[in-house]
Amino acid sequence: MYYEDTIAAISTPVGEGAISIVRLSGPEAIQAVGHLFSGKKSLSEVPSHTIHYGKIVDPGTGRAVEEAMVSIMRKPRTFTREDVVEINCHGGLKSVNRVLELVLDQNVRLAEPGEFTKRAFLNGRIDLSQAEAVMDLIRAKTDQAMDVAMGQMEGSLSELVRKLRRQLLDTLAAVEVNIDYPEYDGAEVVTSQMLHDQSVAVGRRIDQILSTARQGKILREGLSTAIIGRPNVGKSSLLNHLIHENKAIVTDIPGTTRDIIEDYVNIHGIPLKLIDTAGIRETDDIVEKIGVERSRTALKKADLVLLLINYHDDLTDGDRALFNLIGKTPAIIVLNKTDLSLTVSMDEVDKLAKGRPVVQTSLLNEEGVSELEESIASLFFEHGIYQNESAYVSNTRHIALLKKAKSAIADAVAATDQGLPVDMAQIDVRRAWDILGEIIGDTVSDSLINELFSKFCLGK
């Protein structure tokens, strides 16, 4: 489908920079910018995929308001499969907004969030999983996360899903033929066995894809990592060492950190959202009490906990309580201040750790941090990150749909095992086929499409 209206938006981040880009897409894109552009050639006559220097002129006053480089890309060889124009102007807030205002006066409307990518999807340029990968690429915080998004944007997941759907469709077609045109009395038995075998094969392939889901989701969304411990055990120092920046205030005074401090860091290709919490203890200080409560909340939401214990101090009831607070959340115990003499009971620490990794550090002497990073990586990627990162499935929606498809396939297998009529198992196979289609957008509602693209940034 092709739209009759033309849209425009600023496609670069808000703020000062070398350049800003105003992007247009639609049937009037070239004509609209042509009314504003003053250069050596008319934009309506220039070849596709060329860039041209000139001035952006206010038609009302005839005054030049900007120097610009204008890129012309004619359909269908564009991202949206429509005519696309990009105006590269100076990167000031005022200049780019002035250009956008002039563009919107040319019978052009402001694009909705994600509308360029939505048009690319609806015009058949990309499927839904590829469209979602566009935002994953923008939000990627590590090279590995970027590689996963790039692979999915290029169709790695789409191809896997399409192969599975073709396999299911071929099976359904064969079943229909055998039911409608049986050549012998045993056709029902043969058809049931074929349906069973094909369903089992598809189920195994879905299992293989889902086996990467946990790691893929980590690469896409990162690990929310809470740094907890009693006051003055080195939590803020650990945050500063991991992010290589003195972001958190470090003093010898217990209770210095009163609020949650967050930052992202790349640990062996894994994005971590580090949360430096206030020391958890009983206190009469109202402000510190609020910080402690926020620390408890952050702990409940964490994907990973780094529990700091003082190497040069006996375990306290507060330390023991923190071990209990962790619950079943993945955690690493960090024994800090090894530059001082050993006082803590290692036997009790090992007992409370319950098999969790224990790493010794001296943040004062910058010792043990690399071992901690290795421990974090091996905890979630025991065998390392795959060389073919595109094999990961990382999107929560995709994972949920794959699980639903797997359940439908399991129902089909169960139906054939129980000797139920083939057409009953066939219903489950068709349901799996429809569910897989939702991943790439072949069988998806308009409301879901609108919801997904509303989460995109403006101008993308």
In this structure, the answer to whether residues 141 and 264 fall within a common structural domain is no
pLDDT in tens, 397-412: 899 999 999 999 999 9
Confidence band, pLDDT 50/70/90 cuts, at residue 189: low
- 372 and 225 part of one domain: yes
Most confident of 5-14, 77-86, 113-122, 309-318: 77-86
Kindly list the distances between the CA atom of residue 400 and the CA atoms of 48, 216, 222, 302, in Å, as whole numbers in the listed order: 42, 13, 18, 21
pLDDT: which is higher, 285 or 424: 424
Domain boundary among 127, 160, 176: 127
Q: Average pLDDT in the 85-92 region?
A: 91
Domain boundary among 127, 147, 162: 127
**pLDDT at position 68, please?**
93
What value does the mean pLDDT take over residues 168-189?
68
Q: Is residue 446 part of a domain?
A: no
Does residue 172 lie within any of the structural domains? Answer: yes
User: Whose CA is closest to 76, among 84, 86, 68?
Assistant: 84
Answer yes or no: is 449 within a domain: no
pLDDT value of position 172: 85
Q: What is the CATH number of the domain that holds 28?
A: 3.30.1360.120
Q: Which of 401, 375, 379, 395 is nearest to 212 (CA)?
A: 395
Which neighbouring-strand residues pair with 367? 362
Q: Are residues 283 and 373 in the same domain?
A: yes
Asked whether residue 96 falls in the same domain as residue 181, the answer is no
Residue at 91 is within a domain: yes
What is the CATH classification number for the domain harbouring 301? 3.40.50.300
Say if 386 falls within a structural domain: no
Compute CA distances 349 → 1, 311, 316, 337, 445, whole Å.
Answer: 64, 10, 11, 15, 53
Do both 97 and 169 map to the same domain?
no
Here the tokens at position 353 are 């750790």
Which one has a higher pLDDT value, 386 or 165? 165
Any idea what the CATH number is for the domain that residue 183 is in? Answer: 1.20.120.430
Q: Does some domain include residue 387? A: no
Is 191 part of a structural domain of the chain? yes
Strands lying side by side in the sheet with 358-361? 261-267, 270-276, 223-229, 304-310, 331-336, 358-361
Domain shared by 277 and 302, yes or no: yes
Confidence (pTM): 0.73
Residues 205 and 235 in one domain: no
Residue among 7, 10, 6, 8 at smallest CA distance from 96: 10
Assess whether 293 and 366 both reside in one domain.
yes
176 lies in the same domain as 140: yes
Q: How far apart are CA 400 and CA 206, in angstroms?
A: 12
Pair (343, 411) in one structural domain = no
Highest averaged pLDDT of the listed ranges 305-314, 382-391, 448-457: 305-314
pLDDT for res 235: 81
Residue 426 belongs to domain spanning: 132-212+393-441
Report the first-to-last Cα separation within the chain, whole angstroms.
19
Q: Is residue 447, in this structure, part of any structural domain at all?
A: no
Q: Any idea what DSSP says for residue 459?
A: T
Check pLDDT > 70 for residue 310. yes
Q: What is the pLDDT of residues 406-435, one digit of tens each?
A: 999 999 999 988 988 888 888 999 999 999
Regarding whether 285 and 407 lie in a shared domain, the answer is no
The predicted pLDDT at position 254 comes to 43
Residues 409 and 204: their CA atoms lie apart, in Å, by: 10
**What is the domain count for the chain?**
3
Q: What is the tens place of the pLDDT at every residue in 328-384?
A: 889 999 999 999 999 999 999 999 999 999 999 998 888 998 999 899 888 887 655
For residues 182-191, average pLDDT: 56
How far apart (Å, rounded) are the C-alpha atoms in residues 24 and 183? 60
- The verdict on 366 and 276 lying in the same domain is yes
